[in-house]
């Protein structure tokens, strides 16, 4: 049974209920003194607690899709989707991740079939959300993605038109499922586009790590995963090769929440010619090593410089400001990053521009980010230039 299957979850719930029932039923039998009775009581308690914890853990993971498979949970990635595996010989079909098969490849549901409220109906009136794998031309990395295509993408009058694009990044350790089910990104964008509050935009939803369960933080790790190159260079190249999206950077933006928001700011400030607009909801403003990231900056003599260059406050103090527009979301109460957000906004200088969404109260969760999302998408829509070029032009 798959890690996220309902069958496994229901089975574990039944096991937990049975363990509780057996403990209540058998407890008088082990109420006596002696090593055997003590061991019996301990065994029942341990078995019951393990069953309950396992059932709760499966319920949370099934709902939030933190880990999509047993391999992800255990960190086993011989041929995992996060990296190119073994290649085919003599032109035979290789595994997912072979760039010769296309930089955007069709995939299975990847949890999309469990997302509620997606646009329904003919694509030319409702739009469409599809699941793909994005293949890195340089990094040979593969990352699953949901792609929202607005209704106009399928309408005859727009047949040669290119569209602005937003690359949306989830937090860690979540994935694309969370962007659809809990942030409700495609549903919200579809409503705004339908009501004329946002221009038709292609939205590409990705997880920020390229080597799960490691949190790669959109950093090119020396001798390790090249996450920054993947998001800053491979993803735009792949999308341009497959979808009718703008070639000019003015039509590109990046959006994220939590660690995905941190990545969004990093990508915009470090690659302003790729992502000149960024929305960051509850981000951090520097990248640091921790138990989930491992050593992101290497052990060489350049490690201090690398760490500094991923500290956005250091960049604002020591480097020329990039020509980008950013929107930061935070809360005065309930968000521990409010002082850092205020410091960041206060340090922004021309030609960089910054706006903010500041709630009176909001915790680090989806309820807060859903409140901020409509305003964030409308801000992004106004920041992006609708491409003037059409299919057939360079």
> Residue ranges per domain, the chain?
6-64, 79-84+94-383
Query: Is the link from the previous residue into 125 a cis peptide, with omega within 30 of 0?
Result: no
- pLDDT of the chain, 394 residues: tens digit per residue: 666 667 887 888 898 898 898 888 878 877 777 787 788 888 888 988 898 998 888 777 665 545 555 655 654 433 333 232 222 233 332 333 567 778 999 888 889 999 999 988 999 999 999 999 999 999 999 999 999 999 999 999 999 999 999 999 999 888 899 999 999 999 999 999 999 999 999 999 999 999 888 899 999 999 899 999 999 999 999 999 999 999 999 999 999 999 999 999 999 999 999 999 999 999 999 999 999 899 999 888 889 999 999 999 999 999 999 999 999 999 998 888 899 999 999 999 999 999 999 999 888 899 999 999 999 999 999 999 998 877 875 5
Instruction: Tell me the C-alpha to C-alpha distance, in Å, between residue 15 and each of 8, 43, 61, 166.
Output: 10, 15, 18, 44
Q: What is the pLDDT of residue 69?
A: 57
Q: Rounded to an integer, what distance in angstroms lies between the CA atom of residue 393 and that of residue 376? A: 31
Whether the Cβ atoms of residue 169 and residue 254 lie closer than 8 Å to each other? yes
Q: Rounded to an integer, what distance in angstroms lies between the CA atom of residue 144 and that of residue 205? A: 9
Burial class from Cβ neighbours inside 10 Å (0-12, 13-18, 19+) for residue 317 reads exposed
Q: What is the pLDDT of residue 99?
A: 73
Query: In the block, which residue shows the tokens 């969004």?
Result: 264
Q: Which two tokens stand for residue 313?
A: 């406050």
Q: Rounded to an integer, what distance in angstroms lies between the CA atom of residue 216 and that of residue 267? A: 13
Give all strands (DSSP E) within 42-157, no chain letters: 104-106, 128-135, 142-149
CATH number of 79-84+94-383: 3.40.50.1820
Q: Rounded to an integer, what distance in angstroms lies between the CA atom of residue 159 and that of residue 112? A: 26
Closest CA to 321 of 354, 356, 351: 351
């Amino acid at each position: 049974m798959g890690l996220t299957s309902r069958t496994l979850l229901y089975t574990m719930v039944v096991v937990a209920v049975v363990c509780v029932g057996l403990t209540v039923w058998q407890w008088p039998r082990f109420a006596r003194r002696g090593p055997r009775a003590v061991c019996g009581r301990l065994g029942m308690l341990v078995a019951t607690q393990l069953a309950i914890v396992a059932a709760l853990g499966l319920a949370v993971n099934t709902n939030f899709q933190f880990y999509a498979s047993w391999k992800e949970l255990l960190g086993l990635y011989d041929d995992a989707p996060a990296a190119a595996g073994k290649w085919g010989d003599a032109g035979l079909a290789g595994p997912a991740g072979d760039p010769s098969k296309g930089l955007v490849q069709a995939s299975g549901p990847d949890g999309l079939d469990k997302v509620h409220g997606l646009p329904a109906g003919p694509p030319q009136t409702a739009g469409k959300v599809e699941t793909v794998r994005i293949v890195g031309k340089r990094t040979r990395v593969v990352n699953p993605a949901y792609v929202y295509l607005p209704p106009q993408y399928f309408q005859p009058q727009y047949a040669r038109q290119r569209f602005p694009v937003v690359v949306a990044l989830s937090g860690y350790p979540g994935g694309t499922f969370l962007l659809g089910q809990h942030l409700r990104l495609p549903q919200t964008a579809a409503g705004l586009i339908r009501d004329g509050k946002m221009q038709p935009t292609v939205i590409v939803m990705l997880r920020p790590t390229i080597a799960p369960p490691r949190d790669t933080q959109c950093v090119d790790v020396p001798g390790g995963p090249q996450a920054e190159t993947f998001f800053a260079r491979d993803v735009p190249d792949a999308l341009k090769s497959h979808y009718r999206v703008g070639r000019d950077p003015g039509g590109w933006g990046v959006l994220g929440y939590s660690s995905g928001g941190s990545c969004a700011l990093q990508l915009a400030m470090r690659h302003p010619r790729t992502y000149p607009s960024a929305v960051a909801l509850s981000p951090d403003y520097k990248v640091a090593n921790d138990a989930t990231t491992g050593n992101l900056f290497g052990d060489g003599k350049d490690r201090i410089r690398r760490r500094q260059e991923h500290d956005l406050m250091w960049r604002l103090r020591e480097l020329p400001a990039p020509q980008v527009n950013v929107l930061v979301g935070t809360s005065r109460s309930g968000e521990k990053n409010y002082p850092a957000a205020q410091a960041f906004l206060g340090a922004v200088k021309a030609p960089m521009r910054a706006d903010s969404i500041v709630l009176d109260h909001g915790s680090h969760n989806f309820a807060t980010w859903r409140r901020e999302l409509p305003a964030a998408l409308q801000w992004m829509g106004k920041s992006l230039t609708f491409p003037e070029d059409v299919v057939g032009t360079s």
